[in-house]
Amino acid sequence: MLLVVCGSDDAAALWACEGLRRRGLEPIERIWFESLAHGVGWEHRLEDGRVWTGIVLGDGRRINSEEVSGVLNRISTVHSLDLGLIHPSDQYYVAQELQAFLLSWLHALPAPVLNRPTPLGLSGRLRHASEWVWLASKAGLPNPGYTQSSNDPPLQWSKLYNMYADWNIIYGFPGEQVADYEKNLEMAKLLTHLNPPGGLGVFRMDRFSTNFEKAPEMGFTDVRPHPVYRFIYPFPEETLSNLVYFFDYKTRTKIDDGGYVSKLSNEVSNWKARRDRLVGSPVGDTLVVNDTRPVAVAPEVFLDGVRKDAIEFCDRARTADQLHQELKKKKDAGVAKEEITKVLEELVRDKLMVREGSWYLSLPVMPHLA
């Protein structure tokens, strides 16, 4: 029995299954991660130098490790957000247990496993983007090259490349204003088509961080070991200060969230329960944007001309000047900078783009740009 282990929305895995079937490689089973997570039962035995695993899925299928002849593994990690049937308070714990089980099961299988897990990743060692480009070049494959940049890839790129971005919303830094919290709430409402944050919480001070090393300059006072350490080590505070990693603190000025933290927490909870889409697809010379977000101005938007050029070029943060120069190269007749700025602001108004200072970033996921 061949297994393809993947997510329920993994189109590449479905393509691989069909291709293997056309080549007569039967039986082959596509096992969704979700069915493993919510399986009826697992039995995983390690004894006498051998490993045996039996799994019963919710649809009645049974997997016996001794009957598996090969595996295509497409699972890179287990995230608590994938465990919708588990009580929220237990999701993180269950995710860690499931990660350990999948690692042991797939790593110990005697059959060949493509993307065999390691302790550094469920589909093998995780690699930096620069290393993937290097490996592609070494194999003679076409690649976009890599340039070190301070501009991190935007969140929608993870959706574009079927990767899960694990991130959090952290608050409680000195100098934050009510307007900052309000802005974060409005931003959260715009991003419900992307991976939600894993959590929302107050900033934690760690040793070696800039906030710890330069606490007074950063607006922190009364930095001291986290209270929990008093229950672990029988040492005075001065000794603990030189020993521990986590610290408690006060801020020089009081931080007022204006009541927005609770609103933001509710918004994140709703976000986790949603499966919105904001996808741009080219149809001839027009970009058709399908939008199911609650904040959508319209369920379908048609962009052409400069509006299409702008939203595609700003898939990474760009300025109006940069777009102006790009259009000069693309079009015989230049487009006035005033018109470009007007178009960008219209896209922001229509909730298809965000602006930070002079920088603009498109929000739709656009697979044709991959």
pLDDT(338) > 80: yes
The mean pLDDT value for 335-364 works out to: 93
The mean pLDDT value for 105-134 works out to: 82
pLDDT(147) > 70: no
CATH 1.10.10.10: which residues of the chain? Answer: 278-369
Going 67 to 73 to 76 to 78, the CA torsion angle's sign is negative
DSSP E strands, the chain: 2-6, 28-32, 41-47, 50-56, 62-64, 70-73, 113-114, 168-171, 199-202, 205-206, 220-225, 246-251, 278-283, 286-291, 300-303, 318-319, 353-356, 359-362
What are the residue ranges of helices labelled H in 72-113?
91-108
Backbone dihedral angles phi then psi of residue 23, each to the nearest 5 degrees: -90, 10
Q: What is the pTM of this model?
A: 0.58
pLDDT(143) > 80: no
pLDDT(149) > 50: no
Tokens of 337: 């900078």
Average pLDDT along the chain: 87
Tokens of 83: 């465990």
What are the angstrom distances between the C-alpha of 212 and each of 209, 226, 338? 5, 13, 45
Q: What pLDDT is recorded for position 185?
A: 95
pLDDT(153) > 70: no
| CATH code of the region 278-369 | 1.10.10.10
